[in-house]
């Protein structure tokens, strides 16, 4: 049962990765809205979008930190190192793209006039789409680490933590999935 676990033992990485990934999903739309609505969206909107991109970056950095801690556990569970390393490399590229996107949007927000800000917003829109694509690839691989290799899935006897006693993810009789 989830509520019987001490909070200190709950893995942070799966929870934290959702902040940057979720925000990165809306960032291309928000930056595009800045370009399309440039006549009625002013500097405060650009500053808000730049601030949200900084949150993407901060979340990505936090996810990297907690991912390093989760890596040790995955290695103890005999998850192949090359699969973990590939996920880590993709996460680092996601963080880099998030940072470059943030710089572009911060520069746009700092521009005194609208004309020099527009190309920076355009670059930010393209970079935010690239950040999203990289985030989706990274998240997919993270899911594979969990669902195909069991990374982070703590087992007690035959059952995974949180499953009813006596049942594993393969089914009570060792056959198909439990429904």
Bridge-partner residues for 155, per DSSP?
Answer: 160
pLDDT tens, position by position, 92-106: 999 999 999 999 999
Overall pTM > 0.75: yes
Residue spans of the chain under pLDDT 70: 1-10, 154-179
Name the residue ranges covered by the structural domains of the chain. 14-151
Phi, psi angles (nearest 5°) of residue 159: -105, 145
CA-CA distance, 78 to 62, in Å (whole number)? 25
Residues near 134 by beta carbon (within 8 Å), at least 6 away in sequence: 90, 93, 94, 97
Bridge-partner residues for 160, per DSSP?
Answer: 155
């Amino acid at each position: 049962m989830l509520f019987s676990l001490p909070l200190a033992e709950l893995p942070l990485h799966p929870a934290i990765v959702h902040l940057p990934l979720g925000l990165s999903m809306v960032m291309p739309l928000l930056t595009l809205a800045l370009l399309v609505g440039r006549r009625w969206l002013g500097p405060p909107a650009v500053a808000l979008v730049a601030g949200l991109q900084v949150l993407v970056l901060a979340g990505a950095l936090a996810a990297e930190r907690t991912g390093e801690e989760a890596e040790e556990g995955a290695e103890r569970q005999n998850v192949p190192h090359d699969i973990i390393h590939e996920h880590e490399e993709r996460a680092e590229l996601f963080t880099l793209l998030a940072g470059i996107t943030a710089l572009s949007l911060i520069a746009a927000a700092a521009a005194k006039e609208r004309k020099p800000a527009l190309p920076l917003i355009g670059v930010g829109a393209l970079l935010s789409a690239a950040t999203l694509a990289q985030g989706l690839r990274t998240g997919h691989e993270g899911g594979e680490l969990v669902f195909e290799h069991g990374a982070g899935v703590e087992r007690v006897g035959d059952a995974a933590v949180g499953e009813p006693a006596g049942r594993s993810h393969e089914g009570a009789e060792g056959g198909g999935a439990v429904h």
